A and B are shown apart, each in its own frame.
Chain A
Amino acid sequence: MVHEETVYDALDHAHGGEGQWAFGTGFDDPLAGVDTTVPEGVDPADLGAYCLMLGDDALVLCQRLTEWATRAPELEEEVAIANCGLDLLGQARLLLARAGTCGVLGRSREHATGSIPDEDALAYFRDADEFRNHHLAEADGGDFAQTMVRLLVASTHRLALFAHLRTTRDPVLSAIAAKGVPELTYHRDHAARWVLRLGDGTPESHRRAQAAVDAVWPLVADLSTATDVERRLVEQGVAVDPAAVRDEVRDVLTMVVERATLTVPEWPADRPSPGRAGEHTDELAPLLATLQGLAREHPAATW
């Protein structure tokens, strides 16, 4: 009996240290203790809008990845996908919170009560037309091949952006990017390993991987054209011009897909991203309905 009491004691003191899994309960205000002053000469509305773009990409893609929970191939993959989802969710929370500190809340506060933090007001109380994610993030998950090809494309692009954003003039965004770079490197590596194995695996996996590449490739057309917000912020040393990372992204993706013995589709012509302007496919609305339903049912509740 003495042993058990000791075990209970140990559990009581089991914070941090060895807890490889448990995140602990330190999930509160993601920007707690961070100086959120907007730098001189930067328009807070632009900075907030930019953070929403990057935050919505992460939030929506996290939701797509989480659809795999309890359904993944092998338990090892269950754990890996959850890791990617948690990383993206963490990035989304920081970026939406940053948008909130810039005063960019859209129409969310028409519905969300004051007790709801900015990150949740933005995630749960905006409609689809206020979401700024690329179509790449919202597209239906498809099979495991499509999930991994999309993750490869999204993480390669995002990693290239975040690597540059580490030196942005906004210290908050810079910190978010520095934290995100190793996470996104991991996501890209994970996805690339799978694309190699599916492409160069069995005839069936090859066929599925090729179909996935063919389905995802057209969506890269949206990734490289800067919005007006981005253009202004590039001049102020805050944002990265997505056109500047296009070649790097294309080279990485081409290399992986070729090594996977797959045919690289033609790189589509750039176009302004409809998603960045709030124009979305029919796939986003049901995703948001699931994400937001409960929170909207109880707008005065705290969780």
Chain B
Amino acid sequence: MSETTAEGGHGAVPTGPEIPSGAEPTRANTRRDWPLYEVFVRGKRGLNHVHVGSLHAPDDEMAVHAARDVFTRRNEGVSIWVVQAKDITASSPDEKDPMFAPAGDKVYRHPTFYEIPENVPHM
């Protein structure tokens, strides 16, 4: 029964034939997709905006619009920020840890969004 595995929420999924993993970013060779946006929501007055997830949208206006649909179900009184993932500058993951020198790259939580050759270590 090695043809299935139980990983993932809905359980048994076939494992074979060996699947080329989706890990290699291949954006350059695929058709152009809508850009990725990160979504931040202020759930209530008095709270900070909190990162809640991401979505794809063709432009800023549609991104805000879709964010309301997906993450707030159009509740009144909440505030939403969207920003393209590529425009976020991130610190190193753990700034207190000297093991991780600041990488200074411009991405928040999608580190391998850009194409990085497989032979580059530590990415």
> Contact: A197 with B69, CB < 8 Å?
no
Knowing A74-B56, A76-B55, A76-B56, the reply to whether A83 touches B61 (Cβ < 8 A) is no
> Contact: A80 with B69, CB < 8 Å?
yes
B13 interface contact, C-beta 8 A: no
**Residue of A79, A182, A189 with highest tally of chain B CB at under 10 A:** A79
> Contact: A79 with B34, CB < 8 Å?
no
> Which residues of chain B from 78 to 103 have any CB-CB distance to chain A below 8 Å in the complex?
none
A259-291, CB under 8 A of B: which get 1 and which 0?
000000000000000000000000000000000
Chain B interface, DSSP helix/strand/loop, else mixed: mixed
> Contact: A76 with B70, CB < 8 Å?
yes
Q: Closest A-chain residue to B55, C-beta based?
A: A76
Knowing A76-B55, A76-B57, the reply to whether A20 touches B71 (Cβ < 8 A) is yes
CA distance A83 to B70 in the complex (A): 10
B48-77, CB under 8 A of A: which get 1 and which 0?
000000011110011001100111111110
In the complex, which residues of chain B have a beta carbon less than 8 angstroms from the beta carbon of A182?
74, 76
**Looking at chain A, what size class is its interface with the partner chain?**
10 to 19
> Contact: B61 with A20, CB < 8 Å?
no
A-B pairs with beta carbons under 8 A, tally: 34
CA distance A186 to B75 in the complex (A): 12
> Which residues of chain A from 48 to 86 have any CB-CB distance to chain B below 8 Å in the complex?
74, 76, 79-80, 83
CA distance A18 to B41 in the complex (A): 12
CA distance A80 to B67 in the complex (A): 10
CA distance A186 to B69 in the complex (A): 10
In the complex, which residues of chain B have a beta carbon less than 8 angstroms from the beta carbon of A80?
65-66, 69
Chain A interface, DSSP helix/strand/loop, else mixed: helix
CA distance A83 to B66 in the complex (A): 11
> Contact: B73 with A76, CB < 8 Å?
no
In the complex, which residues of chain B have a beta carbon less than 8 angstroms from the beta carbon of A18?
43
> Contact: B70 with A197, CB < 8 Å?
no
A190 interface contact, C-beta 8 A: yes
> Contact: B74 with A79, CB < 8 Å?
no
In the complex, which residues of chain A have a beta carbon less than 8 angstroms from the beta carbon of B74?
83, 182, 186
In the complex, which residues of chain A have a beta carbon less than 8 angstroms from the beta carbon of B65?
80, 189-190, 193
> Contact: B34 with A83, CB < 8 Å?
no
Q: Closest B-chain residue to A84, C-beta based?
A: B69
A27 interface contact, C-beta 8 A: no
CA distance A74 to B75 in the complex (A): 23
> Contact: A83 with B69, CB < 8 Å?
yes
> Contact: B34 with A193, CB < 8 Å?
no
> Contact: A193 with B71, CB < 8 Å?
no
In the complex, which residues of chain B have a beta carbon less than 8 angstroms from the beta carbon of A74?
34, 56
How near does chain A come to B33, taking the closest CB pair, in angstroms? 9
CA distance A76 to B65 in the complex (A): 10
How near does chain B come to A77, taking the closest CB pair, in angstroms? 8
Q: Closest B-chain residue to A20, C-beta based?
A: B73
Q: Closest B-chain residue to A196, C-beta based?
A: B61
> Contact: A193 with B56, CB < 8 Å?
no
A303 interface contact, C-beta 8 A: no
CA distance A74 to B69 in the complex (A): 13
> Contact: B58 with A197, CB < 8 Å?
yes
> Contact: A79 with B69, CB < 8 Å?
yes
A79, A186, A189, A190: the one within 8 Å of B70 (CB): A79
How near does chain B come to A205, taking the closest CB pair, in angstroms? 12
How near does chain B come to A7, taking the closest CB pair, in angstroms? 14
In the complex, which residues of chain A have a beta carbon less than 8 angstroms from the beta carbon of B71?
20
Please list 6 pairs of residues, one from A and one from B, whose beta carbons are closer than 8 Å in the complex, sorted by A's number.
A20-B73, A76-B69, A79-B70, A186-B74, A189-B65, A197-B62
16 additional A-B pairs beyond A80-B65, A80-B69, A83-B74, beta carbons within 8 Å, are A20-B71, A20-B75, A21-B73, A74-B34, A76-B55, A76-B57, A76-B62, A76-B66, A76-B69, A76-B70, A79-B69, A83-B69, A83-B73, A182-B76, A186-B74, A189-B65
List residues of A whose CB falls within 8 A of some B CB. 18, 20-21, 74, 76, 79-80, 83, 182, 186, 189-190, 193, 197
